Amino acid sequence: MHRLPFLTLLGILCCLPNGQALGEHRADWLRDAKWGVMTHYLADWIAHRDHSQMGVEKWNRLIDTFDVERLADQLTSIGAGYYLITIGQNSGYFLSPNATYDRFVGAAPSKCSRRDLVADLSGVLRDRGIPLLVYLPAGAPGGDRDAVTALNWRRGADRNREFQLKWEAVVREWSTRWGDRVAGWWFDGCYWPNAMYRHPETPNFASFAAAARAGNPRSIVAFNPGVYARSLSLTPHEDFTAGEINDPAGIEFKRIEGGRRDGTQLHILSYLGQTWGHGEPRFTRKQCVRWSRTIWANGGAVTWDVPIATDGSIAEPFLAKLKAVGDASRDR
């Protein structure tokens, strides 16, 4: 009878089906990274800022000229622990191709970019040791009526079963293609968790998270319920709290144990501009560092959102403040 070596057998016994070692948390690396940068690269935001109209060809030109090397160099220079970028949001334009989405929506030409910007970013960031996370709404792109109809999306406290099955398929295609080049997902707009996800039968939180982890079982997932002054965990199927907050000075660290909220890694997300993705810096370096240190002292990680130019670069005033956070993160 063939016997497995003891260490091999022990490794099997000490592993969970999702590839996680027993006693290990997927988001441990996020806690150790301490902080990261988020940018909203969105077609409708760019068009509004430039007082222009967005179209498929213009969108593809923008994506084609996004300088991933320059952005990666900037993130390296400030010591960012990870980077989070939007795949898309409400406009229906996405910065990566997805055949499943195109099949469901039927838009011609596709509003999904020809270039896979996520894949290109992940390559240059991996070379620099910076994990990449991606943002996606949990609902259909609300500004694209044709997509809303084709995806069977109903905004509000609705089961949305047909939509969820389609959206999971869209997410699964991206996750499978990117594999371990994407380290995590941040899903926005999970405003009706009871109606949409808390069900024993699929689709539910478990199947949604499984779709995001289809290509990488160690990928971390967060579901955002909206803006709250304290951290919340919606489900055991998420690995880190979404942590969206407008005022970092007002964070309440209630019921945080070992850097986790109800077993989920503490994570806070706020913006350095006047609002998400826009404006001049609203905080000083000292404020950024002080609030970041407070989050780290509670065992959490913090993500700072900053505006991004059409070429993919971050403006110097923001880099200076982010670098201060990076320097502070290396203090003992």
Is residue 269 included in any domain, yes or no? Answer: yes
pLDDT of residue 164: 98
Q: In the chain, how many domains are there?
A: 1
Is residue 20 included in any domain, yes or no? Answer: no
Q: List Cα–Cα distances, 15 to 9, 20, 176, 215, in angstroms.
A: 10, 6, 22, 18
Residues constituting the chain: 332
Of 15-24, 108-117, 281-290, the range with the lowest mean pLDDT is 15-24
- Residue 70: pLDDT over 70: yes
Is residue 231 included in any domain, yes or no? Answer: yes
Is residue 308 included in any domain, yes or no? Answer: yes
pLDDT of residue 12: 30
- Flag whether the pTM goes above 0.85: yes
Is residue 186 included in any domain, yes or no? Answer: yes
CATH code: domain of residue 165? 3.20.20.80
Is residue 11 included in any domain, yes or no? Answer: no
Is residue 17 included in any domain, yes or no? Answer: no
Q: List pLDDT tens digits, range 75-96.
A: 999 999 999 999 999 999 999 9
- Residue 215: pLDDT over 80: yes
Q: List pLDDT tens digits, range 125-136.
A: 999 999 999 999
- What element of type H or E holds 304? strand 301-305
Phi-psi group of 22: left, alpha or beta (phi > 0 → left; psi -120 to 50 → alpha; rest → beta): beta
User: Which residue in this structure is represented by tokens 């994990």?
Assistant: 131
- Residue 5: pLDDT over 50: no
**Residue ranges making up the domain that contains 320:** 26-329
pLDDT of residue 9: 32
Confidence class of residue 20 from pLDDT cuts 50, 70 and 90? Answer: low
Question: 257 pairs with which residues across the strands?
Answer: 260
User: DSSP assignment of 172-193, as one string?
Assistant: HHHHHHHGGG--EEEEE----H
pLDDT of residue 23: 58
Is residue 10 included in any domain, yes or no? Answer: no
